[in-house]
Structure formats: C-alpha cells, structure tokens
Amino acid sequence: MYKYVIKRLLLLIPTLFGAAVLVFLLLRAVPGDVCQLRLGGGGEWIDPVALEQCKIQLGLNDPLHLQLVDFLASFFTFNFGESMWTGRPVAFEIGLRFELSLQIAIMATLVSIIVAIPLGTISAIKQNTWIDYLVRTISIAGIAIPSFWLGIIIILGLLITTQAWTGTPWMPPIDYRPLWEDPGYNLSMLIWPAVATGYRYSAVATRMTRSALLEVLREDYVRTARAKGLLEKMIINRHALRNSLLPVVTIIGIEFAFLMGGLVVTEQVFNLNGIGKLFVESVTNQDYVMTQSLVMLVVTIFVLVNLVVDILYAVLDPRIRYS
Amino acid sequence: MATLSEGRLAVAMFEEPAALKPWHVKLRDMARKQPVGVAGAIIVVLMVLMAIFADIVTPYDPLLNSYEYMLAPPDGNYIFGTDMLGRDVYSRIVYGARTALFVGFASAAVGGILGLILGVSSAYFGGLFDLIFQRVMDVFMAFPLVIMALAVVSILGTGTENVILAIIVPFVPRCARVVRSSALQIREIPYIDAAKACGFGHARIILRHMAPNVMAPFLIMITAFVGQAILTEASLSYLGLGVQEPTPAWGLMLQGGAEEFAESAPWVAVFPGLAITLAVFGFNLFGDALRDVLDPRLRSSQ
Amino acid sequence: MKTSFTRLAMTAGLGAAVAAGGIVAASAEEPKQGGVLRIVVGSKIPSYDGHRESTFGMIHPIRPFYSLLIRVNPDDPQSSNFICDLCEGDVPTATNDGKTYTFKIRQGAEFHDGTPLTAHDIVATYNKIVFPPEGILSNRVSRFAMVEKISAPDDFTVQFDLKYASPGFMPMVATPFNFVYAKKDLERVDPEGKDPQYGMKWHQNNINGTGAFSFVEHQPGSHVLGKRHEKYHHEGKPYLDGFKAISAPKMSVRIQAIRGGRADIEFRGFPPKSRDDLVKALGDDITVQESAWNCTFGYAGNQTKPLFQDKRVRQAMTLALDRWGASNYLSKIAIVKTVGGLALPGHPLATDEATLKTYYGYWPDIEKSREKARELLKEAGAEGASFKIWNRAVDQPYKVVGTWMLDQWKQVGLNVEQVVVPTGPWYAGLRDPDAFDVAIWPSCQSVVNPIVDAGAWISKERAADNRGYYTDPVLDEWYDQMNREGDPAKQAELYRKFEKRVLHDEAHFGQVLWWHKINPHRSFVKGWKIAPSHYLNQSLDQVWLDVPDEERKQRTMDELGG
C-alpha cells in the first residue's frame, strides 16, 4: 500500500511535466500576445514603441526555451510569478477566487449527493417500472441540458416570476460577498449555479447508484437476508446501500475534481468571479503566466483527486489490494 | 470509475456471450425491457432522418436573411419564428441537426477507432510502452478542453473539422483507457498465447483477435459519446470557438442575440436549446439501455 | 468671486441653448446628496495607470478617482468644446503662432492623501505621458509628437511649447486617459531599493488622484469601490457618497443586472432590442439616452492580395452594401445605425447627405448599385471571386454586421466566408498581411477629432494600423496639408477631397455604418449626459440619485458601511 502510494506519486511527475510542456506550447502557438491586447484591446491605435517595451518587460521577446525553463522552474519552486495582465502575483489572483469556486463545487456536490442517492436507490428497487423510467429520464436530462442554456433560463425565469408575483423583478446578486460576512446574500447568489451544476453532475451519480445497488441486490448475502425474512427496507438500508456506496463515492470524487475546472461556462452565465471566469479571462487576455498556472492547478487537482479516490478504494474495500 | 465496471463487463461477456444472440432477438428483448431505450432510439432515428432529408422538410433556405421579418414570432409562415437576421429558426434547427450529427458521429468514430487501437496496443504490449502511453493519456485527459479548443481553432482556424479535432483530443484517452482495461483481461486468455505461438504478427493479433473482443464496452461508450460530442460542439460554438456563422448550428444559434433578447424573443433561445437537449438525451437514453441489455449482470431476473 | 466669474465666462462661451437648458434643469430639480451608484462594466482593468492603458474597462471604474487638466463639458458632452478641470478660467488659446499654450492652474485642489495640487504635478504628469523614461510605457507618445517642452513658470502656471502649431493638440490634452498624478508619487523611492523606476510605476497598482472619488477597494474580477472625496475642487460635488463598478463581461448579464435592479447604469451601450425590452419590462423606471458614437465600423480589402489591388473590385464591394436599408433594419438589433463618411455624422466636418449619396456604396437605389457592382466585377474579371472576412468573436456589432456583409456580397455573386477568431488572434492577424483577405476595421476614438483621426487611412508606411495595406502618397500629402491648415474652410475642403478618395475614387476603405450608443439606465440616475464616446464624461461628479432619502442612506450603509 505504502509503496503503491509512493509509486503513484512519482508517476505524477511525468504527467505534470507533460501537461506543462503542452500548455506552454499550445498557448504560444496562438497568434497575438497580451501586449497587443492591453495596448489596443478596444481597436485603438497602438504606439509601436510602447508595444516593444511592453514585450521586453514581460519577457515575451526572450527565446522560447528560456521562457519554458522559467515556467518550469516557477512551477517546481511554487513561485508562480505575476499575471501578465494585472501585474499582481498569480497566487493572489487565484486565492481571491478560489474560495468562491470551492464553495460552489462543495454546494454542487452536496446537491448532487442529495439528488443522486435517493433517486438511484428508488430507481434500483423499482427497476423497470414507470418510477424507474421517470427517474432515469430526469437524471439523463441533467446531462443533456447545456449548462449555459439552463443558466439563462433560470435567471430569466427568476426575473419574470418575481416581477409577476411581487411587482419588482429580482435576480441573484452579481457581486460576491463571503459566506461568513453576509450568509443571506452569499447563498442567494450561489444557490442557483450550485443547483444548476449539481443537477447536471447528479445524473452520473444517480446512474452509478442504481447500477451498483442492482448488482449488490443480487449478491448471495442479500438473498440470504431475504430468505431470513428481513424487511426489504432493512435490507436496502443496512446491507445493500452501504455496500454499493463505494463506486458512488468514487464518481462523486472524480466529479468534484472536474467541477473545479468545469465551472467555466456556469461562472460566465451567473457572473461569478471564480476560477472558471479567471480562466476564460486569462485565456482571452493571452496571459500566459496566469493561464499556465491555472491549467497546472486544474491538472494537479485532477490527478490528486484520482489518486485519493484510488487509495480510498483500497481502504474502504478490503478485497482490493494494490501492489 | 466507469473503468472498473466496464472491465468487469468485458469479463462477463465471456461467461455469457450475449453478443452471439441473433440481432432481432436482441432488438425484441430491448423493446420489451427497455422502453426508455427505445424512446431514445426513436429520437436518434428521427434526428438522423431529419438531417438526411433536411432539404425536403424545411420550407426556407437556412441561410436566407429576411430583413423585413427580423425576430418574427412563431406563426403560420415561420413555425419556430425567425432569428435576428430574419432567418427561419425551424429550418436552421433542421440543418443544424446535420452539423450536430456530423460532428457527433465523426468525432465518435475517429476518436473511438484511435482509442480502440491505442488502448488494445497498450494492453497487448504492456511494460514500458504501456507505462509511457498511460502517462501521455493522463496528460490529455486532465487537460482543459477550452485551451485545447482555443489552440486548435487559433492555429488551424475555425470550422467543423477543427471542432471535431478539438473534441477528439480528450476523448481518445478516455476511450483508450476503457478499452485497455477490458483488453488486459482478454490478454490473459489462452487463445492470445495460442495466436502468438502460431507466429502471427502484432498487428494481426491486435486487430483480428483482441479488438473484436472488446467491442461491447466500446460500443456502449461510443453511443454515449456521440451525445457528449454534440453537447461539446454546442458549448464550443456558444463560446465562439466552434462552428462559424452563417452555418446553422445549435450552439451558435444560442449565442449573442438569442441570450440578450431571450425575454422578448424566447423562440430564438428556446428551440435550439431544446434541440440540443433532446439530441443528447436521445443518445444517452439509447446508450444507457444498450448497457443494460449488453451487461448480463444487470439484467433483471425479477 | 473667482469661481462665479469662471462659470459666467463658461456659460457665455458655450452659447445660449446649453445655458438655458442648464438653468431649467437647475430650477426643476435640485440634486440630492448621498447614495452609491452601481455601474456594470463589460471589460477588465489591466492596470490603474491611465497613461499606459486604452480600454474603457479601466476608464469606467478608475477615471472617477482622477481629474484631467481639461475635459469635455459634462453639461454638454456632445459638443467639441472643452472646459477647465484642474485649470482655471477659460481653456487657453494658443499664442506664439499657435505654438504656446499657457494654463492657469486652480488653487485649492487636493489629492486624496491631502497633498495640495500645484503646476509641478501637472508638469510631472505630462512629462510622463509625452516623454516617458526608458522602460516606462506611455500609450500616447506618438500623438503628442508636436510637444517640445512642458514647464511650470510658477506654482500655478503650466506652459506647453510645441514644435509646430497643431489642431490635434488640445483634443489630445482632453483625452480622458491623461490622469493627473502627484509629482511626489511619481518620485517615490522603492522601499526595497530594487526598482529605480518605482515611482513611475507606482500608479499601476496604486491610486492617488484629485478626482471626485477616492479609492476604497478593488476586488480583481469583481468590483471597484470609491467614496466621496470631501475636498473635491468642483464646489458642492460630487453628489454621490460613492460608486461601485461591478465587472460583468457578458452583455446578457449586464442587461439583466439593470432589469433586476442589481445595477443602475452601464456606460458602454446596449443593443436597441435590449433597450426596447427594458423599457417594456420597466416602463418609466428606465430612461434611455442615445447618441451617435465616435466609432467607425468598416472593412478593407487587403491590397497585398491581387484581388483587392484592382480598384474596381474594391468599388464593387462597397457598391454591394445596402447601407441605407441596413441603417433601417440592422439598427433594430445591432449597435450600429448612422450612414456616414469618415467624420462622425453631425460633426461640422461630416459630409452632407446629398453629396454622400453620389459616392459609391451610398446610392439610394440599391438595385442600381448592385447592378453597377456586378458590372465592375465583370470588367475586373472577378465575377464569383472568393474571399474570407477576418472577423472578431464579439457579437456586438462585429459578428452581427459581419454576417450581414457576407450576405450582401453574396448578392452580387461573390463567394464569401467568414472567419471569426477571438480578440487576441484577431489583432495578431490584422498585423500580418498574409493572414487575411478582408478585415473588419473598426476604430473607436474618445475626443471627436476627425482631422487627426484621418491618419488611420493614410499609407501603410505611416499608419501602423492601416488594415488595407495600401500606399497612397496623394492621401498622405492631403493629410499633412489639412493638419497644417489654419483656415477652417480650406481645411474642410481638403477633408472632402481626402474622404472622397478614400471612400469612392480608390475605395480603399468601406465605411459601413457608424456605431450608435444606447444607454438605457434606471430613471433615478440623474445628472449624467451621454457623450459620443464611451470614454468621455466619466468623472461621475455630476451624477446623483433621485431616490428616497432612506434608500440613499441604505445604499451608502450597504456598500460603504457606517
């Protein structure tokens, strides 16, 4: 086990290195640069002298291999440098938005658990009845609805219904206040994107709960329990559900990792100042330093969560032994 | 953790070879036990028909701007209304099915085949090749799609082919991984050793002996992926990184004006959104049902 | 005494109509003190240093912290008249054959940190803008090329000496990016002793101005908050206790924010359809202000490519566009409206409609025009020629108008496609003549200054942003002549010739439609008047909120605390 963890951690190094080189090359393959955007982002005339100075200042004129070495060094020494757009430290810019994205990711995960486990369970118990079909339809619709579209519909729905009921239109706040400062304001802003994303991510978890439960329900010990005349409710709660939770935990874990990088569109629609919006901004600004750091953050979270999930698997299920 | 369950599924295939049943029996099984899946299949078939016969079922040229009918509400002439340049929303949705299906099938097919070959080879060769290959796949899997799409679009230009390329990149590793885990189990089965003993080449063993045996999980995945690809295309087009105006495409139709004017001209935003939802929904239902039918462990005994 | 005299002089200078309007407004509504204005801003803040930036994304949230030497008159932002901001009395006129401008500086103005303003601050500021030291970015060096020397003969006088007389000088001084900084801030020493230019860079990340509001906080990506500057030099102003500029990159969010009461106003502009929607949903609670917008929207064929070297092809392209029709229907959905030539319609230099209608592409009869286009294409052997429009992935107005142009050109048999790319690669492509066929070529300027702005259309060797990549010595000569011409009538005549050559004779550039600025805002926002540019009139010192006292108090409490 111990050896396995070490081995997996070592294997992270080539993955991260590969991702770093890939993002580095991809960003520079895109024509244009942050200086052109900063000096003429509104279509204005650009002073060529100023343009050249800006490039020199940001190191854009350095040879490519030097830029790559700089970037790799910055990543492995945890000194990510300054955003090319704002000039502020990358760690500061990310830290500022991390709280919001983390809160939504947690809230969305909670929503998806609250939705998925009961629905998946009902669906499995009532397999191939209309309840099952209904639940599956609802959960698959979650994957099918484009999140940007759902966002538009939610905001518009809120505006129209509140105006119809109260006379004054209401929409979620568009600027963030931390949970501990103003919980009402905070939640009234974040609950909508959390529900929209949580619903989407619950679809996979519902399906997983259903099929895992179905599998467990056919195990011998469940049959034995039934033969002993135990109540079906008891069988489900005491035996089956608990044993089928493992793959569900896995799926939720992996989704959480995806969520941190996957809020891009939702944050746009609800005007949330989180990691996703920062990501889109830095990509459109061609802010190499910021984008590289964000990509590495997302990739790192992704591989680490994957690792933790695999280890959890081993801890929770004694049948699995890694070597 | 799709990997684990699908790996198990591949083993199950050998215990009870469902794939060997005649196709019409399977179809009947499915219709009886999987009304949801059949609903999905109907949606898919309808969509395909719509795309094929787009010229016949649409009253207008999807590219025709009618400036005197801009943002006209649905009526007898325009059953889904018109968009901000006066184009018929219904015709654009029907033609949009062509774009969506083309992107969906093409990326599923190309990405799937690449993933299949890579996954099986990785399992077959094992060792260092497998290890390195796995790391490369890790990189692509964890890599954010938006960056990939932006780079592809900026380097190669916008357009349908490039959208497909951007969609395939993250799909290949996922596919390869599922295929690999199934193939790993097959590799242990004696007949592969027998084939090796006969002196067959690597390519022949991979393509003739291993690949066909991982088809079940592969097909299930491909079906679901068509839906995902359609959704991804819509998202990329919505972000301005996908298909370009004036090509009719659902994601593109939802962009810009559709969003801003959604309150007073809801038809521009609602119908393309429904089209995407329905299409992705159809492919997912179908894939889900396919999984239930093909995986004997999950087949109802009640 | 001094101030009242200034006001009198100002009013007299501006003409009766404005003065009358001002009096009526003053007697009808007394501005109310207090409250916080909430703005939504669609673009980002690259840094706080106006001298190096050029985006409205930093003007809207940062400009209220600073003052200018002179500014566009906030009571009449449509006029080309400037009034003093930090200077005193009338805006100076040139002496010494147009080569010297002397500004009297206002006494009693104070920076937010308590430092009193003197002429030396203004000299230090303009030296940074016009003669930045090596390694310091200033975005307007070339446009101030006429300036020889800036000096302060005494503590409250600033003198600009020019190399040659130039009509472009005063509009450049009024450019809203020329924030006045304190000399002592520019001379700050790095506490760590590392950066010798610490002071020159200090304003990139710090704010200390003499503007109507002082800086409270900036949460990057979220908002900027400012509170009333008690020692503001315009007496009795600002009316607001503060302002909050909230970042909202998506147009639909900005519209919804005003609809749902999360913001009061947006200063860039909304599409006409959204204006109608807001008015329909909120009725009297919405006030709409509209203005011609000092932004051109045009295109140019890339003349490094053989197809566009033939002027008949270029003329056919402009003839194919139904501008008068588009002005009618595109203006219902896009932020473009006015048919015009090179100068902002309504400006004294703008060509009258009758003359305009004789130019290619402006004929009232579109069928005849398209016929002529087909004929020219046939003559040039370019029937059914194929090309691509290089467009920017921004909806308003780029993609909407681009898609329309594509349709128009198809109607004369051209085979046109559109390539839409994100902003960064788009600009990069424009700078690379191999990258595109036909470029969308918009140009947004702040202060209306057609003579200087015509520099965009001279030869590529001299105009860095010439998207047609052409060389036309005739235009260059006329441009220089009109910039040196002192007689307005002769200047206008030269401008006519210049314009006709660009649009008609050579058809180097196709001016499609001028942008149209529409600002629907909550009706309780008073005192803000729309300018022909989203860069202008953004000091917010005149703005007040016509809401009940409790609500103003509540807003101040909510945003700024007790």
Please state the domain extents for chain A. 90-284
Which residue in chain B has the smallest CA separation from A299?
Answer: B142
* Closest to C480 (Cα-Cα) out of C461, C494, C466, C493: C494
| CB-based contact, C435 to chain B, within 8 Å | no
User: Which pLDDT belongs to residue B30?
Assistant: 63
- Percent of chain B clearing pLDDT 90 (strictly above): 13
Asked whether this complex has an ipTM greater than 0.95, the answer is no
What span, in angstroms and rounded, lies between the C-alpha atoms of A278 and A120? 35
| CB-based contact, C35 to chain A, within 8 Å | no
* Interchain contact, C260 vs A44, CB within 8 Å: no
User: Which pLDDT belongs to residue A262?
Assistant: 64
Nearest CB neighbour to C256, from listed A36, A44, A155: A155
Residue C401 has pLDDT above 70, yes or no: yes
* Interchain contact, A140 vs B281, CB within 8 Å: yes
Which residues in chain C have their CB less than 8 angstroms from residue A46's CB? 139, 464-465
* Interchain contact, A18 vs B147, CB within 8 Å: no
Place B10 in a pLDDT band, splitting at 50, 70 and 90.
very low
Q: What is the DSSP string of C123-190?
A: HHHHHHHHSPPTT---TTTGGGTTEEEEEEEETTEEEEEESS--TTHHHHHT-TT-----HHHHT---
- CA of C392: how far to CAs of C117, C361, C396, C430, in Å? 43, 24, 10, 10
CATH of C4-264+524-560, one of 3.40.190.10, 3.40.140.10, 3.40.50.1000, 2.40.110.10: 3.40.190.10
Touching subunits for chain C (3+ Cβ pairs under 8 A): A, B
Low-confidence stretches of chain A (pLDDT < 50) are 323
Touching subunits for chain B (3+ Cβ pairs under 8 A): A, C
Q: What is the DSSP string of C297-335?
A: EEEEE-TTSHHHHSHHHHHHHHHT--HHHHHHHGGGTSS
Which residue in chain A has the smallest CA separation from C53?
Answer: A39
Q: Which of B42-46, B215-219, C78-82, C179-183 has the lowest mean pLDDT?
A: B215-219
| CB-based contact, B106 to chain A, within 8 Å | no
- We find that the CATH architecture of domain A90-284 is Orthogonal Bundle (1.10)
What CATH class does C292-515 carry? Answer: alpha beta
Q: What is the mean pLDDT of residues C172-178?
A: 94
Which has more confidence, C241 or C143?
A: C241
Place B16 in a pLDDT band, splitting at 50, 70 and 90.
very low
What span, in angstroms and rounded, lies between the C-alpha atoms of C198 and C180? 18
Please state the domain extents for chain B. 89-295
User: Which pLDDT belongs to residue C122?
Assistant: 96
Residue/partner pairs of C78-82 with CB below 8 Å, 24 or more apart: C78/C291, C78/C529, C78/C530, C78/C531, C78/C532, C79/C14, C79/C18, C80/C171, C80/C347, C80/C447, C80/C448, C81/C13, C81/C14, C82/C170, C82/C171, C82/C173, C82/C174
- Percent of chain C clearing pLDDT 70 (strictly above): 95
Nearest CB neighbour to A41, from listed C55, C295, C425: C55
User: Which pLDDT belongs to residue C28?
Assistant: 58
- The residues in A 251-280 lying below 8 A from B, measured between CB atoms, are 251, 254, 261, 264-265, 279-280
| CB-based contact, C523 to chain A, within 8 Å | no
Which has more confidence, B18 or C146?
A: C146
pLDDT one-digit tens code per residue, B267-285: 988 999 999 999 999 988 8
User: Which pLDDT belongs to residue C562?
Assistant: 59
- The residues in B 132-191 lying below 8 A from A, measured between CB atoms, are 135-136, 138-139, 141-144, 146-148, 150-151, 154-155
* Closest to B209 (Cα-Cα) out of B139, B123, B142, B138: B123
What span, in angstroms and rounded, lies between the C-alpha atoms of A66 and C348? 55
User: Which pLDDT belongs to residue C21?
Assistant: 32
User: Which pLDDT belongs to residue C153?
Assistant: 95
* Interchain contact, C422 vs A48, CB within 8 Å: no
Tell me what the pLDDT averaged over chain C comes to.
Answer: 89
Which residue in chain C has the smallest CA separation from A175?
Answer: C222
Nearest CB neighbour to A41, from listed C244, C281, C423: C423
Which residue in chain C has the smallest CA separation from B240?
Answer: C393
pLDDT one-digit tens code per residue, C372-386: 999 999 999 999 999
pLDDT one-digit tens code per residue, C109-153: 999 999 999 999 999 999 999 999 987 888 888 788 889 999 999
User: Which pLDDT belongs to residue B62?
Assistant: 87
For domain B89-295, give the CATH number.
1.10.3720.10
Which residue in chain C has the smallest CA separation from B238?
Answer: C393
User: Which pLDDT belongs to residue B287?
Assistant: 81
Residue B15 has pLDDT above 50, yes or no: no
* Interchain contact, B154 vs A291, CB within 8 Å: no
Which residue in chain B has the smallest CA separation from C396?
Answer: B256
Q: What is the mean pLDDT of residues C391-406?
A: 90
- The residues in B 57-116 lying below 8 A from C, measured between CB atoms, are 63, 65, 67-68, 70-71, 84-85
* Interchain contact, A46 vs C139, CB within 8 Å: yes
pLDDT one-digit tens code per residue, B101-120: 999 999 999 998 898 888 88
Instruction: Tell whether the torsion through CA atoms of C522, C527, C528 and C532 is positive or negative.
Output: positive
- Percent of chain A clearing pLDDT 70 (strictly above): 88
What span, in angstroms and rounded, lies between the C-alpha atoms of C269 and C275? 10
Which residues in chain C have their CB less than 8 angstroms from residue B85's CB? 333, 400, 403-404, 407
User: Which pLDDT belongs to residue C285?
Assistant: 93
Closest-CA distance of chain A to residue B174, Å: 14
Residue pair B10/B182 in contact by the 8 Å Cβ criterion:
yes
* Interchain contact, C273 vs B260, CB within 8 Å: yes
Structure tokens given for A237: 């709660």
User: Which pLDDT belongs to residue C390?
Assistant: 93
pLDDT one-digit tens code per residue, C6-55: 333 333 333 333 333 333 344 457 899 999 999 999 988 888 999 988 88
Which has more confidence, C340 or C12?
A: C340
Place B238 in a pLDDT band, splitting at 50, 70 and 90.
confident
**From-to residues of CATH 3.40.190.10 in chain C:** 4-264+524-560
- The residues in A 20-59 lying below 8 A from B, measured between CB atoms, are 22-23, 26-27, 29-31
Write b or e for each residue in C371-400: b if 16 or more Cβ atoms lie within 10 A of its Cβ, otherwise e.
ebbbebbeebebeebebebbbbbbbbbbbb
DSSP C86: S
User: Which pLDDT belongs to residue A140?
Assistant: 84
User: Which pLDDT belongs to residue B2?
Assistant: 34
Which residue in chain C has the smallest CA separation from B158?
Answer: C419
pLDDT one-digit tens code per residue, B121-173: 888 887 888 888 888 888 887 777 766 776 777 677 667 888 888 888 878 88
Which residues in chain A have their CB less than 8 angstroms from residue B302's CB? 127-128
Q: How many CB atoms lie within 10 A of CB B201?
A: 11
User: Which pLDDT belongs to residue B11?
Assistant: 36
